[in-house]
Every structure is written in C-alpha cells, then in structure tokens.
Structure 1
Amino acid sequence: MTKTAPLLDKDGVQLIVDDTIATVTLTNPDKRNAQSPALWRALVEAGRSLPGSVRVVVLRGEGKSFSAGLDRQAFTPEGFDGEPSFIDLARGGEELLDSTIAEYQDAFTWLRRGDILSVAAVQGHAIGAGFQLALSCDLRVVADDVQFSMRETSLGLVPDLTGTHPLVGLVGYARALEICVTGRYVHADEAVRSGLANVAVPGDQLEDATRDLVAALVAAPRDAVIETKVLLQGAAGRTLDEQRVAERAAQGRRLRDLAGLGD
C-alpha cells in the first residue's frame, strides 16, 4: 500500500490528507508533544493548507501523551532559538503582547471552522495548552489513561489559548472554575460523564474508535452537517425564538437545495 505523503511536516506538526479526511499529528513524542510558538505557527499553516475536499480533521499526538502542554523553555530568559522569550514579551508593550497572544490563539481557533468537523484522539497527558488544544476540537475520543489538566492558574497564569469558552460550555461554570483553579486531573470516566469526552476506550482501541467515529461523521451529506454544526454553535448565544428563526432559515436552505432550487 502506498503511503500518503504529508502536505506539511515541520516544527512538530504533520498534516496528511486522504480524500475527505485530514490527520494532523503532533510529532515530538520524546518531549510529550510539548508546544511552542513554532508548533503553533505550524498548526496555523496546517489549517490553511487543507484542501476544500476535507470534511473531517483528526488531531492526534504521537507517543504516550497527546500533549503535555507548553514547553517550559518558553519561561526561561533565553526562550526558544529565534523567538522572543515570554519574559521579553511581558516586558514589551501591551499592544505587542496582545497581538502576539492573538497569533498564538490562531493555532487553536481554526479547528472550529464551520466547514469541517474536528476530532481529537487523546491519550495520556493533555495538560494546559494540550487540554486547550483538545478542547478546540468539536469532538473528543479518549483513551482510558487520559489525564486532562488545566495547570495555568496554578502557575500564576490563566488559560488563554481559547480553552475557557468550550470548557464552560461542556461542563458548566462551577465545574470549569474548579478544574482550572485546582489544576487537578480529569480522568477518562469523569471526562465522559461531564461531557468533556464523547467516548473513552482502552488505549489500544483509540485509533479504531476514532476511525469508526470519523466514518459515521462523513456518512451524512456535507451541507446538512455544516448547517447543523453552525446551528448548534450559535445556540448558546440565542434565545429560543432566535434559534427557531435560525432553524427555519437553515431548513429552508436545505429544502431548496434538495429540490434543486439552491443558488
């Protein structure tokens, strides 16, 4: 069998596309897929590189851990080669600091795009930035050894890579606050019960379970999936009457399309 060549393979991120399914892999298992600004830029590039045919993006990490979070080298005076250290950024102006964090966040937001579904396959540690990366996906399949933890507050920081919004949406304000402030581990059984994970399986079944879910996701017509995702994404910010209007508009588009009357 011919192996598909990566569209992208740099800075700890690999992108492979097979027809309607893209797989984004974190490829630095020796460091438990620790994250860095270079990795975040590579993730942004992966999102921009997706062909229009892609319907589902699978996000995974090589090795025993999905991602152990931010590489602590970011907090050393020297930082990463060719990068300003976080200490230098803190000493700079507020405008530069804000714009830099916004660029980092771009690595996480593209996984929520309305035209794709994203699935995180998570094993082992998913800590801090790793937890937030998993939360950036629409769905999560986890191994029974998963350990989610939001450690930022324990380190005197806050979760700033877009993870707070989905976390509150999934588990509610009180549970989200407790998870963030204590920095404790959330294991597989709690993750499923609380809504953080869709399903938990033994580690040796993670790949198969993810593949089965992806197959189910691509079985439905693409336009109906996109309309449904957008409806659900906006539901929390709408009143019931506003959601009724949105549902009617979406269904009207679908019916016209099925009748061959679309634009």
Structure 2
Amino acid sequence: MSEVNTLLERDGVRLTVDDTVATVTLCNPAKRNVQSPALWRALIEAGRLLPGQVRVVVLRGEGVSFSAGLDRKAFTPEGIDGEPSFLDLARGPEEDLDATIAEYQKAFTWWRRTDLLTVAAVQGHAIGAGFQLALACDLRVCADDVQFAMRETTLGLVPDLTGTKNLVELVGYSRALEMCATGRFVHAVEAERTGLANLVVPAAELDAAVADLVAALLAPPRSAVNETKALLRSAVSLDPEAQHAAERAAQTRRFRDLAGIGD
C-alpha cells in the first residue's frame, strides 16, 4: 500500500487503511486542495484499492480548506501541466467531451457504494467541485468555519460532477436552485439547518467528532447497515409498492442470516 500511496500522493490524494476504516485525504494544502483530472483519477484509484474489510471511509482535506474547487488553469489555453486544456476539449467532438466528463464523474460516484459508509470531514472552503465531493459522501461532519458554494453558474458552467441530484435530495429543489443560481456561500448554521451538514462542531473538535461518528457507524453488524443503506438509497426512486417489496426481501435475508440459514 505504501508504494501505491506514493503514486496517489503525487496527484494530491493520500489513502490510509486502519483495519475497517480507510481515510482518503486531499493533500495539497498549499493550493487549498484544488482539484484536477489527475486528482480525480487518484480518487478513482483510491476507491478501487480499498480492501474488502473496509466498512467506513473518511474523506478529509489537509489545511485550512477542504477543497477550493477546480484548478482554474484547466480553463486557460495552456491548461494544467500534463492535462488537456478544457478549451481544447470543448473544440473536439461532443461525444469525446461527454466521455471525458463521464470519466471524471467516476471520482464522485463510488462514495455511495452500498458496501461502504462514507463521511466527509469538511472545514473551510468547499467550493464547486469541492462542494460536490462533499455531497458525494453519505454523511458530512463540518467545522463551524465551513463555507459551501456552488460557483459553477457564475463561471457560465453547471455543476456536472454528480452534485445536482445529491444536493436536491438533501435540501429540496427550490433551495438547491437558489444556491446554485446565485453561487452564494452557505455557512455552518444554514448547512446544519438545511441538512447539508449532519453535524457542525468547533474546528478544533472536528477530528474527535468524526471519530465518534465512525465508532457509532461500526457498532451494528455490517450486513444490517449495508442492507439499510441500500433500502434508503432505493427509497428515492422506487414507488411505494416496489420499496415495500424491497424492505420485505431485505428483512427476509436478515431473518435467515440471524437464524443461520444460508442461501
């Protein structure tokens, strides 16, 4: 794992594993953990490398900010070193651009896997892609200095890193629209009140609060937690009859497991 960590850290991501808990750290604090295609590839790889025993993944950012969003160099003619300029991508075939964005989105989708619980520990700025990465996790514990903002529309863009659905599910359509259309900052009190943050604590207590939450998440049997997560995820899209059937099927599996009856 240490050799892989070195490769990931080169692109701004550190993966550490302690038995059933993994920590993914954005580790470019000098640039407020700005994001790039290389960082997204490293996040995808971090998800792929998780050992099977991992139950909880904590996502955090080093320094004063969780992530200040996309590196603006991506929109210059020169682009980010080693990466194509987004302007050049825009001039190419639409299907190629669509495929490229789809690949970027993979860095934001694995956090909702039903075999994991994911917790974002968010302090300081979580802007644009940083906001969307925090939204990708199941839960968010925030420091009282947190500042969320979806700034894409102010740049003539849209949030395209899987954040729109997650944001609407958390705060509702009209509030999500207002946040995105204005690009304004959402601070700690509002984040907790609207459901963006599961918990807000003083910045000095963030690590301890996350540790307490992780311990609580690990307490129940893994199979029951995973089944419950899957049910809650499906509740958003299934009609009531289908959801009720899914609950019955899941509970049947739980009863059989408790009774020691295999498949």
Q: Which TM-score band applies after superposition, normalised by the shorter structure? A: over 0.9
Which residue number corresponds to residue 244 of structure 2?
A: 244
SS in 2 for 1:17: strand
Which residue number corresponds to residue 49 of structure 1?
A: 49
The code of the aligned residue for 1:172 comes to G
Provide the rounded CA distance (Å) in 2 between the counterparts of 1:84 and 1:177. Answer: 31
Q: CA deviation at 1:71?
A: 0.4
Which residue number corresponds to residue 235 of structure 1?
A: 235
Q: CA deviation at 1:61?
A: 0.1
Provide the rounded CA distance (Å) in 2 between the counterparts of 1:7 and 1:52. Answer: 17
Which residue number corresponds to residue 158 of structure 2?
A: 158
Asked whether the 8 Å contact 1:7–1:16 carries over to 2, the reply is no
SS in 2 for 1:262: coil
Which residue number corresponds to residue 11 of structure 1?
A: 11
Identity fraction in percent: 73
The code of the aligned residue for 1:37 comes to P
The structure carrying a bigger helix percent of its residues is 2
Which residue number corresponds to residue 24 of structure 1?
A: 24
Matched, 1:132 2:137: no
Matched, 1:109 2:135: no
Q: CA deviation at 1:238?
A: 1.4
Provide the rounded CA distance (Å) in 2 between the counterparts of 1:6 and 1:88. Answer: 34
Q: CA deviation at 1:7?
A: 4.9
Asked whether the 8 Å contact 1:134–1:140 carries over to 2, the reply is yes
Matched residues, number: 260
The code of the aligned residue for 1:105 comes to Q
For 1:162-193, what per-residue CA distance to the aligned partner results, in whole angstroms no more than 9, with x for missing partners?
00001000000000000000000111111111
Q: CA deviation at 1:6?
A: 7.6
Which residue number corresponds to residue 224 of structure 2?
A: 224
Asked whether the 8 Å contact 1:68–1:128 carries over to 2, the reply is yes
Can you give the 5+ residue segments of structure 2 that lack an aligned partner in the other structure?
none
Asked whether the 8 Å contact 1:59–1:119 carries over to 2, the reply is yes
1:156-195 matched pairs, under 5 angstroms:
156-195=156-195
Provide the rounded CA distance (Å) in 2 between the counterparts of 1:7 and 1:139. Answer: 27
Provide the rounded CA distance (Å) in 1 between the counterparts of 2:137 and 2:4. Answer: 21
Q: CA deviation at 1:262?
A: 2.2
Provide the rounded CA distance (Å) in 2 between the counterparts of 1:166 and 1:83. Answer: 28
SS in 1 for 2:257: helix
Q: CA deviation at 1:10?
A: 2.9
The code of the aligned residue for 2:122 comes to V
Which residue number corresponds to residue 215 of structure 1?
A: 215
The code of the aligned residue for 1:196 comes to L
Provide the rounded CA distance (Å) in 2 between the counterparts of 1:6 and 1:152. Answer: 36
The code of the aligned residue for 1:75 comes to F
Provide the rounded CA distance (Å) in 2 between the counterparts of 1:244 and 1:55. Answer: 26
The code of the aligned residue for 1:210 comes to V
Provide the rounded CA distance (Å) in 1 between the counterparts of 2:190 and 2:4. Answer: 36
Provide the rounded CA distance (Å) in 2 between the counterparts of 1:7 and 1:25. Answer: 14
Q: CA deviation at 1:241?
A: 1.8
Which residue number corresponds to residue 69 of structure 1?
A: 69
Provide the rounded CA distance (Å) in 2 between the counterparts of 1:148 and 1:84. Answer: 28
